[in-house]
């Protein structure tokens, strides 16, 4: 044990003195996070602007009046500010064209009668080129209201087809369209097991650069062989397994420290809360173990440190991008499940659970994926013929 600790401490000192470790483990990912924060930092803080809606509707149509009143009642609902102007069709189109209104709703003559009797009718929506998300909210509410009207129309048409008297159709339509209010506005929150955009970016970058960081300890075996250090160590009364174990321990420690620092710094930049500290610590430990295990495979295949660096970059980019380091990734087909076996994807999923309030008992699946990945890589490294540092 003493020999292992001495070898590990010596390698850690050398790696810390190596500027490339600091650059790849901390400087580059923190710089990327800072740039992303400047570009995307305000993406989640959406400010809704006032939206003007021009409505052209028959003055004596009761259902058309209901539609107008519903749109007018959106003013002050949640964070939405809506101004409704009642105009004729030509003026409504002109206001949208001039930019004075974001959207125009054109309700045709006979709208109410058609809805009551089950005949098809169309409400035309004219959207301006500069209309934003506020117009989408209004249109969604109008679409929901028209959906209720459509339910009544279908009921009325079916009742007429079955010979129901006109006196009873009204009651049937009312019963069919009873389902609560047509709309309800509320600020959305990220669902369970899902990080918001800023937190996902932080977690993804931490997972991506973890794979670069852990490579420094294990691939140090190749550098030691090239410089003659490995031969001198083997001439001493030290078991070969301890040399490998010390390199793995260095990789693991570097990965844990770097990932912890990146998650902490990134959470400050993006105001992200990853939840329970013990649960997050367990995720960091397991993903570092998974990353370190991958380096065992690299060091058995690569003949030189340059080859090891290239292989590490390939594995890191494939696993990082596939795991959602830069943007969410989804796939379909028979191999879609392979994405879930990615340790970077498992890290994001686990942090999503902890961010939503989950604890150690709730992250069993992500931890299992990481440890399973580590076990598979260790077995594969034993089965692959030795070509690298220990040959």
- Quote the mean pLDDT of the chain: 76
What angle do the packed helices 277-301 and 240-270 form, to 10 degrees? 130
Q: For the segment 356-370, what is each residue's pLDDT rounded down to a tens digit?
A: 888 888 899 899 999
Q: For residues 143-161, give the mean pLDDT.
A: 63
Q: Taking the model in full, what pTM does it have?
A: 0.61
Residue 286 in contact with residue 245, Cβ under 8 Å?
no
Best CA proximity match to 342, nearest among 308, 381, 294, 282: 294
Greatest alpha-carbon pair distance for the chain in Å reads 103
Residue of higher predicted confidence among 103 and 335: 103
Whole-number Cα distances in Å, 111 to 60, 65, 73, 84, 117:
11, 10, 21, 19, 10
Residue of higher predicted confidence among 231 and 247: 247
Q: What are the residues whose beta carbons fall under 8 Å from the beta carbon of 158, sequence distance 6 or more?
A: 118
Residue 224 in contact with residue 389, Cβ under 8 Å?
yes
pLDDT confidence of residue 333: 57
pLDDT confidence of residue 371: 93
139 pLDDT tier (thresholds 50, 70, 90): confident
Helix, strand, coil abundance in the chain, percent, nearest 5: 65, 5, 30
Three-state SS at 85: strand
pLDDT confidence of residue 372: 93
Percentage of residues in the chain having pLDDT higher than 90: 6
What angle do the packed helices 220-227 and 305-322 form, to 10 degrees? 170
DSSP structure string for 170-181: HHHHHHHH-SS-
186 pLDDT tier (thresholds 50, 70, 90): low
Written out in words, the top-level CATH class of the domain with range 51-177 is: alpha beta
What are the boundaries of each domain within the chain? 2-42+196-383, 51-177
Residue 301 in contact with residue 388, Cβ under 8 Å?
yes
Q: For the segment 305-334, what is each residue's pLDDT rounded down to a tens digit?
A: 778 788 888 888 888 887 777 776 665 555
Structure tokens given for 301: 């295949």
Strands, E, within the chain: which ranges?
51-56, 82-86, 103-106, 124-127
Interstrand relation of 103-106 and 51-56 (parallel, antiparallel or unpaired):
parallel
Residue of higher predicted confidence among 209 and 2: 209
CB atoms near residue 246 (< 10 Å): 25
Which of 219-233 are b and which e, b meaning 16 or more Cβ less than 10 Å from the residue's Cβ?
Answer: bbbbbbbeeeebeee
- Is the pLDDT reported for residue 178 higher than 70? no
246 pLDDT tier (thresholds 50, 70, 90): confident
Whole-number Cα distances in Å, 312 to 214, 296, 326:
10, 11, 18
pLDDT confidence of residue 179: 44
Range from 50-59, 107-116, 167-176, 187-196 that averages highest in pLDDT: 50-59
């Amino acid at each position: 044990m003493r020999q292992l600790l001495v070898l590990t401490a010596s390698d850690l000192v050398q790696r810390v003195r190596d500027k490339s470790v600091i650059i790849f483990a901390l400087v580059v990912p923190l710089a990327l996070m800072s740039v992303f924060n400047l570009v995307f930092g305000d993406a989640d803080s959406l400010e809704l602007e006032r939206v003007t809606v021009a409505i052209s509707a028959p003055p004596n149509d009761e259902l058309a009046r209901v539609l107008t009143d519903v749109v007018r009642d959106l003013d002050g609902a949640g964070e939405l500010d809506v101004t409704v102007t009642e105009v004729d069709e030509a003026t409504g189109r002109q206001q949208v064209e001039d930019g004075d209104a974001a959207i125009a709703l054109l309700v045709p003559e006979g709208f109410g009668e058609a809805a009551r009797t089950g005949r098809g009718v169309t409400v035309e929506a004219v959207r301006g080129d500069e209309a934003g998300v506020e117009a989408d909210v209004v249109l969604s509410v109008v679409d929901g209201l028209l959906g209720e009207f459509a339910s009544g129309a279908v009921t009325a048409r079916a009742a007429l087809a079955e010979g129901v008297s006109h006196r009873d159709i009204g009651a049937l339509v009312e019963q069919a369209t009873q389902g609560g209010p047509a709309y309800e506005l509320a600020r959305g929150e990220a669902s369970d097991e899902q990080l918001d955009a800023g937190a996902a970016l932080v977690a993804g970058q931490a997972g991506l650069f973890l794979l670069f960081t852990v490579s420094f300890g294990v691939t140090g075996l190749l550098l030691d062989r090239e410089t003659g250090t490995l031969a001198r160590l083997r001439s001493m009364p030290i078991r070969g397994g301890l040399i490998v174990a010390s390199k793995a321990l260095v990789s693991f420690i570097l990965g844990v420290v770097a990932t912890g620092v990146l998650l902490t710094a990134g959470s400050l930049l993006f105001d992200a809360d990853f939840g329970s500290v013990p649960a997050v610590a367990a995720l960091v430990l397991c993903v570092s173990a998974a990353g370190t295990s991958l380096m065992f495979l690299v060091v058995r295949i690569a003949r030189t440190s340059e080859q090891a660096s290239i292989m590490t970059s390939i594995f890191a980019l494939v696993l990082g991008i596939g795991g959602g380091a830069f943007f969410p990734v989804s796939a379909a087909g028979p191999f879609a499940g392979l994405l879930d076996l990615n340790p970077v994807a498992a890290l994001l999923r686990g942090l999503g659970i902890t961010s939503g309030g989950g604890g150690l008992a709730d992250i069993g699946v992500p931890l299992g994926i990481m440890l399973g990945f580590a076990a598979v890589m260790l077995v594969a490294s034993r089965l692959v013929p030795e070509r690298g540092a220990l040959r």
